[in-house]
Amino acid sequence: MTPPDTSAAPPRNGFVQLYTRVLWAFAGLSMAAIVGIMLVQVVARYLFGASLIWAEELCRYILIWQTFLLIGIAYSQGELVALDLIGTRIAGPWRFLIRLIVSLPVCYFLYLLIETGLVHADRFKSQTIPAIDFIWGSLTGRPAGLPVWWIYVSVPVGSVILLAHIVVGLVDEVIALARGGTGAAQPPSSNA
């Protein structure tokens, strides 16, 4: 993902700016953590002949959270794959109607992911994360006891974020149409 081009973007309120900055900071810090952990893993394995047993698991967990927290920004910037054969050729209310028809099943699917994701995450409240327990246990002498729930809850959290982005995008398009515009200036679509 590339940082957003704010030159042509409509003015944003303070919450949206803060939300975007926090997620971009998380994206940068989490990628730096992954690169650092894997670099240490490679050095430990090939120079010292001793592998870090927790490195790949920890990187996997960071990537999972990264994926689900940043999916909404990717959607808003049009970086998710989309087949937009008709929507780009139609303007105004008809384009909105097509986007609404396409968005409804997606929103329902996200609702199902939220509902079942919370149930699934709740089932693993007593199981702990082995990598975190190993790291914390090595540092302090006792396990951290952080439940796997924190990994599984990333699915419903990311689904809520994506659902919010879809709904806000549709509301913005309705507002633009009500003001006499043609709807969204550039509906989310693939850059590829």
> pLDDT tens, 48-102?
988 888 888 899 999 999 999 999 888 888 887 765 666 667 777 888 888 898 8
Residues 107, 17: Cα–Cα separation, whole Å: 24
| 188 occurs within a structural domain | no
The structure tokens listed for 17 are: 């700016």
- Residue 106 CA, chain-centre distance (Å), reads 16
pLDDT at 7: 46
Residue 98: count of CB within 10 angstroms of its CB: 15
The structure tokens listed for 61 are: 């967990």
| 71 occurs within a structural domain | yes
pLDDT at 83: 59
CB under 8 Å, gap of 24 or more: what pairs does 4-9 form? Answer: 4/73, 4/77
Domain total of the chain: 1
pLDDT at 190: 42
Q: Write out the residue range of the structural domain in which residue 38 sits.
A: 14-178
| 3 occurs within a structural domain | no
Q: What's the pTM value of the predicted model, to 2 decimals?
A: 0.78
| 133 occurs within a structural domain | yes
